[in-house]
Amino acid sequence: MHYWLMKSEPDVFSIDDLARAKTEPWSGVRNYQARNFMRDGMKVDDGVLFYHSSCAEPGVVGVATVATAAYPDPTQFERKSPYFDAASTAENPRWMLVDVAFKRKFKRTVTLDELKAQPRLEGFALTSRGNRLSILPVTKSQWTFILSLENKP
């Protein structure tokens, strides 16, 4: 089993939106490294830390799981989509996605500032300078530690 952190802007798609939908395609990723994580690294039942970004209080807000293997992102073929990619074809799709399933919402947001202040998370991709990927790998020890922070005051 692998673990991941997936970022979403809450005004676009929040943990509450995922709770209502129960399962949602993680579409619109247009970064090759993030795509490769979905395509090559993610497996069904992998754990996902759901992270709210570009908001007043960025941080981890819940837990989800990878619900499907990677498959072509249909938005790359939709001409009216902001994610349309004219170079992508059905025979050779450029962009992939996985479906993500809601598990639970955190009792509180574990904020980015809080994560940065944790010596045990030194080297964690999210807290490294210059890292702006929307999907990041998480080690088992990072996963366990971040989950434990939910219950800290």
> In this predicted model, what pLDDT tens digit does every residue of 116-153 receive, in sequence order?
999 999 989 999 887 789 999 999 999 999 999 998 87
128 or 77: which leads in pLDDT: 77
User: Which pLDDT belongs to residue 152?
Assistant: 84
Q: What is the mean pLDDT of the chain?
A: 96
Instruction: Kindly state the average pLDDT of the residues 111-120.
Output: 95
Rounded to 5 degrees, what are φ and ψ at 85?
-135, 105
Distances in Å between the alpha carbon of 19 and those of 11, 24, 59, 60, 83? 15, 10, 17, 15, 24
| Of the candidate ranges 31-40, 69-78, 105-114, 124-133, the one whose mean pLDDT is the lowest | 124-133
Set out the domains of the chain in order of their start, with CATH numbers: 3-141 (3.10.590.10)
Mean pLDDT for 87-92 is 95
